[in-house]
Amino acid sequence: MKRVAFIGLGNMGLPMAVNLLKNGFDVRGFDKGATAASAALAAGVAMERSAIAAVTDADVVVTMLPNGAILRQVYGEIVPAAKAGALVIDCSTVDVESARAAHDMARNAGLKSVDAPVSGGVGGAAAGTLTFMSGADVEAFEAARPILSAMGKNLVHCGEAGAGQAAKICNNMVLGISMIAVCEAFALADKLGLSRQAMFDVVSTSSGQCWSINTYCPAPGVGPKSPADNEYKPGFAAPLMLKDLGLSQQAAASVGVETPLGQHAAEIYARFVAQGGTDKDFSGILPWLAARANEA
């Protein structure tokens, strides 16, 4: 039974850690937030007093952190304290540069390293059906496979260090753009007198079909159950989509690629979050657009 240190036990990290426990791993956790730490303890995760204490003697270290700056800070603490030859897996969504810096820190200390951001949201984390997009050498990726398989369903080896983050950023730029397009189409259909059910039935089976309508429809009462059917309580919060779109634009600027739709999507989500979307699912763009149409 491998000992796993899990650093960062928030809305995503905690259910992931619980799935590791269910699969027989000895999990030792740390989160600097008192609320998250209490929730993890109540869920059965043995909690340590510090990140350094958690990683001591751990065979594997998993991190789920808010941003690249915090990732670098935490790696600066835990890498020197990690067991010789340990495997470190970062599941955060951060900028590619920070992911590669974390890899360098780990490798320079003789540790195996994987960046493995996730897709699937809180529901996927709880169900153990996450998709992991991994950047690592083949040896490190294969070493991580049993750990990732305990928390997810789809494991994709995207390439070397930072490739997982690159895949996540590109995927979520597509997702952000497509969700806005679907919400705009529903808002337009409303004004044209087309029922939302008819709109769904046509688009979900025609050339406009995509995950944002077929699986995660933003219109309540239409299609499969989604956060729209729960007053847009977050499955994937709008501020997180804004963060990911911001990362896509940072990455695009760093390599000189124009992404005008990605840029515009980031601007739209920034307005949505500023105008009441802070606690809403990213599909809450639909009622926001509808309200603006009614005001026009």
Structure tokens at 236: 């994937």
- Give the C-alpha separation, 254 to 96, whole Å: 10
Phi, psi of 273 (to 5 degrees): -65, -40
By CB atoms closer than 10 A (0-12, 13-18, 19+), residue 24 is: exposed
**Residue type at position 296:** A
- Give the C-alpha separation, 59 to 281, whole Å: 36
- Give the C-alpha separation, 284 to 111, whole Å: 42
Strand ranges (DSSP E) for 124-256?
A: 130-135, 152-159
168 a catalytic residue: yes
Spatial CA neighbour of 11 closest among 284, 237, 216, 239: 237
From 22, 83, 153, 168, the catalytic residue: 168
Phi, psi of 67 (to 5 degrees): -160, 175
CA dihedral 83, 89, 91, 95 (to 10 degrees): 100
The per-residue DSSP string of 63-121 comes to E--SSHHHHHHHHHHHTTTSPTT-EEEE-----HHHHHHHHHHHHHTT-EEEE--EESH
Active site residues: 168
